[in-house]
């Protein structure tokens, strides 16, 4: 998710993690592409948010030289697209100062710094994110407090959502981990029935978050992003493509 915008393990590679499999890395100039061989007829070149990683899906039988030639002919496009995706995805660096806008579940709230020396704590009260901390707490510490708060929000929201979807999908999730990740919105360890969610998801609209959760849970039924997988998503979340699109483009620029 984005692993779907993410890495995908090749069939038969004995993978245990649906979202994190190594394809072959193809290097052309300064550009690296994850090469995925699939049962497809056409090539698919994708640039993935948030970091602009490039992947190229090609038919099983296509010779490597032809693959390289194709990729080389697309270098300009890849560079342009990577710049665009990174510019859109990478957050404008936060300063975590008074009044700065931060998102929770798709809505922006101003930060209020309450430097009263009380126990460090974050809470959403009356439309503001209150950051209780000691006077002079450095920016990095303010940021990590907020990150921890986002992690808790994702965990708190994930549990009931998983409980809701387990009977609908006929699967069982045995563990949920939440952490900040650079390249994936989520991943699924199929054998252990564990899903991992990106804490940054707390900033996205809830329907996007639900899409990631359902996507990862769907890997418990189908490991790969193949037609069967997409059919499952179509069945459970008919508007999943719109949700995925929104996940990658939210928040709209400019950032508050």
Q: Would you tell me which residues interact with Zn ion (CB under 5 A)?
A: 1, 3-4, 19
Cα 50 to its chain centre, rounded Å, is 8
Closer of 56 and 184 to Zn ion (Cβ): 184
Q: What burial class does residue 82 get, using C-beta atoms within 10 Å of its C-beta: 0-12 exposed, 13-18 middle, 19+ buried? A: middle
Closer of 2 and 202 to Zn ion (Cβ): 2
- Give yes or no for a contact between 16 and 188, defined as CB atoms under 8 angstroms apart: no
Quote the least distance from Cβ 223 to Zn ion, whole Å: 9
Q: And the tokens for 110?
A: 């101003």
- For residues 180 and 185, what is the distance between their CA atoms, to the nearest angstrom? 9
Q: At what angle do helices 206-218 and 139-169 cross, to 10 degrees?
A: 60
Quote the least distance from Cβ 7 to Zn ion, whole Å: 9
- Reported as type and span, the H/E element at residue 84 is helix 75-89
Quote the least distance from Cβ 27 to Zn ion, whole Å: 25
Cα-based torsion angle of the residue sequence 95, 96, 97, 103 in order, rounded to the nearest 10 degrees: 110
Quote the least distance from Cβ 135 to Zn ion, whole Å: 45
- Give yes or no for a contact between 2 and 49, defined as CB atoms under 8 angstroms apart: yes
Q: And the tokens for 108?
A: 């922006």
Q: Which of 224, 228, 229 is nearest to 10 (CA)?
A: 224
Closer of 132 and 196 to Zn ion (Cβ): 196
Closer of 5 and 102 to Zn ion (Cβ): 5
Quote the least distance from Cβ 203 to Zn ion, whole Å: 20
Quote the least distance from Cβ 70 to Zn ion, whole Å: 25
Quote the least distance from Cβ 123 to Zn ion, whole Å: 33
Closer of 18 and 122 to Zn ion (Cβ): 18
Backbone phi and psi for residue 73, each to the nearest 5 degrees, phi listed first: -70, -15
Find tokens 């975590």 and name the residue. Answer: 96
Q: Which residue is nearest to Zn ion (CB)?
A: 3
- Reported as type and span, the H/E element at residue 194 is strand 194-198
Closer of 3 and 201 to Zn ion (Cβ): 3
Closer of 4 and 200 to Zn ion (Cβ): 4
């Amino acid at each position: 998710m984005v692993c779907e915008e993410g890495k995908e393990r090749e069939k038969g590679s004995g993978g245990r993690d649906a979202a994190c499999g190594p394809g072959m890395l193809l290097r052309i100039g300064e550009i690296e592409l994850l090469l995925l061989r699939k049962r497809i007829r056409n090539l698919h070149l994708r640039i993935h948010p948030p970091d602009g990683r490039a992947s190229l899906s090609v038919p099983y039988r296509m010779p490597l030289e032809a693959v390289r030639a194709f990729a080389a002919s697309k270098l300009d496009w890849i560079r342009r697209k990577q710049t665009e995706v990174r510019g859109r995805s990478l957050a404008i660096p936060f300063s975590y100062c008074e009044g700065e806008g931060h998102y929770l579940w798709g809505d922006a709230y101003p930060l209020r710094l309450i430097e009263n020396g009380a126990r460090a704590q974050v809470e959403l009260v009356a439309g503001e994110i209150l950051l209780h901390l000691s006077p002079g707490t450095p920016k990095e510490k303010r940021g990590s407090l907020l990150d921890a708060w986002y992690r808790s929000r994702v965990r708190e929201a994930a549990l009931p959502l998983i409980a809701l979807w387990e009977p609908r999908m006929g699967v069982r999730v045995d563990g949920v981990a939440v952490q900040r990740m650079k390249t994936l919105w989520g991943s699924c360890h199929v054998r252990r029935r564990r899903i991992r969610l990106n804490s940054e998801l707390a900033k996205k609209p809830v329907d996007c978050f639900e899409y990631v959760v359902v996507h990862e849970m769907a890997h418990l039924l189908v490991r790969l992003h193949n037609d069967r997988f997409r059919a499952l998503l179509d069945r459970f979340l008919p508007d999943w493509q719109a949700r995925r699109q929104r996940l990658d483009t939210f928040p709209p620029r400019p950032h508050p």
